[in-house]
Amino acid sequence: GENVEQHPSTLSVQEGDSAVIKCTYSDSASNYFPWYKQELGKGPQLIIDIRSNVGEKKDQRIAVTLNKTAKHFSLHITETQPEDSAVYFCAASTRNTGGFKTIFGAGTRLFVKA
């Protein structure tokens, strides 16, 4: 079945450094790739997304890249801050007849050390 692999499972960086999280998806029909940030006790919150007709998207310190041929997409956070510490999930969404289905990666726990 469809799956999304996410690496690494844990990432620790120094404040000000960059963090990169990588995902691979299996369903070639996937056409929407959101990234979510989940803080303790809260539901996931969308931080950036990219569609299959775009290769890269940037929003301030956050950027996402997509390689459709290789079925890879990555999240890049620059100038990390302690408040970036959270669990990050990638997801691949596939539209089928009348609806859509989203498969999530297993998550990356990011620690930003002050």
Partner 1 sequence: KAGVTQTPRYLIKTRGQQVTLSCSPISGHRSVSWYQQTPGQGLQFLFEYFSETQRNKGNFPGRFSGRQFSNSRSEMNVSTLELGDSALYLCASSLVSSMNTEAFFGQGTRLTVV
Report if residue 83 touches partner 1, rule: CB under 8 A: no
Q: How big is the site for partner 1, counted in residues (CB under 8 A)? A: 27
Binding to partner 1 in span 6-25, by CB under 8 A: none
Interface residue with partner 1 among 10, 12, 18, 46 (CB under 8 A) is 46
Contacts of 45 (CB under 8 A, 6+ apart): 36, 37, 38, 39
Whether 82 contacts 114, CB under 8 Å: yes
Instruction: Please name which of 33, 29, 3 lies closest in space to residue 94, comparing C-alpha atoms.
Output: 29
Report if residue 93 touches partner 1, rule: CB under 8 A: yes
Interface residue with partner 1 among 107, 112, 113, 114 (CB under 8 A) is 107
Interface residue with partner 1 among 85, 88, 89, 110 (CB under 8 A) is 89
Instruction: Please name which of 61, 85, 55, 60 lies closest in space to residue 73, comparing C-alpha atoms.
Output: 55
